[in-house]
Chain A
């Protein structure tokens, strides 16, 4: 069974600085998707970024980028120029690649605080 591990329960960053959130996963599959979701206090789950395992290029969305290391099964999220609105729980998630839309497997989350 696939597992997702986030080893940092909490992280803190100064406004305008850069922070990296860690995620590792375990799977025997060669094709899969990886995601980072943000959950602010409103509890709405917001997709931050996604990565297809067959793509070597790291995904980037504005201030958010990932470092995808397939061999190491690592998928870290870098947030540049941190803003107060980035404060939230961040969940790393995995999904098998395939025709049917399978469910997501989540890590335990990292609580990010942004200091003004």
Chain B
């Protein structure tokens, strides 16, 4: 299975600032997925990131708020911009594993104060 290194594991940020989350995969993958998990809730897909093209965002999520970078087949970043307390969540990246399942990063716990 692929191994994902996700950083940072947690952060406390001031409202109005931005945080960039990184995910590094130990193998080349076509698609990477970014999820948000609000406190006590399930995972909600933010966007799908393909290398070499613009990310595809789900309803309710916009590029200005959650810009995504996918410079190569092993790396992606998600930025949470102009943060407010409502952005306090766990953010996870994920990659498919040839149909066997999906591997997730260890998550970033973001608290906005």
Contacts and interface: CB of A to CB of B under 8 A. Distances in A.
Interface of A: 33, 35, 42-45, 47, 50, 91, 95, 100-101, 103-109
Contacts of B96: 101
B31 interface: yes
22 contacts: A33-B99, A43-B92, A43-B109, A44-B106, A45-B92, A45-B94, A45-B102, A45-B104, A45-B107, A47-B101, A47-B102, A50-B100, A50-B101, A100-B30, A101-B31, A101-B96, A103-B45, A104-B33, A104-B43, A104-B94, A105-B45, A108-B42
Provide the main secondary structure of the chain A interface: loop
A107 B106 CA distance: 20
Contacts of B42: 91, 106-109
B41 interface: yes
B42 to A, nearest CB: 5
Which range contains the number of B residues in contact with the other chain? 20 to 34
Interface of B: 30-31, 33, 37, 41-45, 48, 90, 92, 94-96, 99-104, 106-107, 109
Contacts of A44: 104, 106-107
A66 B44 CA distance: 24
A103 B30 CA distance: 12
Contacts of B103: 47
B5 to A, nearest CB: 13
A24 to B, nearest CB: 15
Nearest to A98: B99
A45 B100 CA distance: 15
